[in-house]
């Protein structure tokens, strides 16, 4: 069974001192992997410890949307390529868990974690988490964080939606999750906003929900913005 690799802050299992308590980030196979990349970069930039789970379907989507592979045996190099040269993974407090490892730490409620973000969240993952399917580590970890009453943010990116999808999102809401659709606002950057600015807006809303400081977008300050010349 694959063992997790630990990041560069010198913390190891069983070390004495402050307990490592990460945010768990689960990446599903829905289109929208730039949202996951933006959330990961922002959490690491804020100095947060992060545990990462990438579903099998997400690997195909990452490859399709970015041209970068994501492989268990080369996860750190592949993650660095995906997140880009401005993200320093050498000093990051980062753990990767294979999605097929149901004996991994995040599968247990006794594993310390601050909470979890599922971004982007596919309709299949939303359904699996809502009904307690535990098909893989990503779904199991989300269920665990819900039952432990930790923050769980689910970022669906699917449109239009069916009745069953809405019912699963309602079930997640009722279980305590925050359902945060990948629906960017334009007031921060205007109608000519770039794709990166719109992605950062959604990532910033995720970090707001987690109470993690960031500077991903300009906040609404009231009033009306003067017309752009």
Residues 50/93, Cβ–Cβ less than 8 Å: yes
Q: What does the pLDDT read at residue 129?
A: 98
Q: How far apart are CA 98 and CA 82, in angstroms?
A: 17
C-alpha pair distances (Å), 172 with each of 25, 72, 216: 17, 29, 27
Q: What does the pLDDT read at residue 8?
A: 32
Q: Cis omega (within 30 of 0) on the bond before 160? A: yes
Q: What does the pLDDT read at residue 16?
A: 45
pLDDT digits (tens, 9 = 90+) for 45-67: 999 999 999 999 999 999 999 99
Q: What does the pLDDT read at residue 13?
A: 40
Q: Cis omega (within 30 of 0) on the bond before 120? A: yes
DSSP string, 117-133: EEEEE-HHHHHHHHHT-
Sequence-distant (≥ 6) Cβ neighbours of residue 167 within 8 angstroms: none
Q: In which element (H, E) is residue 23 found?
A: strand 23-27
Q: How far apart are CA 157 and CA 134, in angstroms?
A: 21
Q: What does the pLDDT read at residue 5?
A: 44
pLDDT digits (tens, 9 = 90+) for 130-149: 999 999 999 999 999 999 99
Q: What domains does the chain contain, in order, with CATH numbers?
A: 23-210 (3.40.50.1950)
Q: What does the pLDDT read at residue 161?
A: 95
Those residues of the chain that have pLDDT short of 50 are: 1-16
Buried b or exposed e, range 132-146, using 16+ CB within 10 angstroms: eebebbbbbbbbbbb
CA torsion 197-121-49-80 (nearest 10°) is -60
C-alpha pair distances (Å), 113 with each of 29, 152, 227, 228: 23, 11, 45, 45
């Amino acid at each position: 069974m694959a063992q997790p690799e630990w990041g560069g802050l010198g913390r190891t299992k069983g070390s004495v001192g402050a307990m490592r308590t990460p945010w768990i980030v689960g990446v599903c196979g829905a289109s929208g992997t730039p949202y996951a990349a933006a959330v990961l970069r922002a959490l690491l930039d804020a100095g947060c410890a992060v545990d990462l789970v990438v579903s099998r379907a997400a690997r195909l989507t990452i490859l399709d949307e970015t041209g970068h592979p994501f492989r268990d045996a080369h996860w750190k190099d592949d993650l660095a390529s995906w997140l880009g040269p401005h993200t320093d993974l050498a000093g990051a407090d980062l753990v990767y868990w294979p999605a097929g490892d149901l004996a991994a730490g995040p599968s247990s409620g006794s594993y310390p974690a601050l909470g979890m973000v599922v971004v982007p969240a596919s309709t299949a993952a939303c359904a699996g988490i809502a009904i307690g399917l535990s098909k893989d580590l990503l779904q199991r970890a989300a269920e665990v964080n819900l039952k432990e009453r930790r923050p769980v943010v689910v970022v669906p990116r699917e449109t239009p939606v069916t009745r069953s999808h809405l019912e699963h999102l309602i079930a997640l809401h009722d279980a305590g999750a925050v359902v945060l659709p990948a629906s960017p606002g334009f007031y921060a950057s205007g109608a000519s906003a770039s794709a990166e600015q719109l992605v950062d807006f959604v990532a910033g809303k995720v970090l707001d929900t987690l109470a993690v400081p960031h500077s991903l977008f300009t906040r609404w300050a009231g009033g009306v913005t003067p017309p752009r010349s």
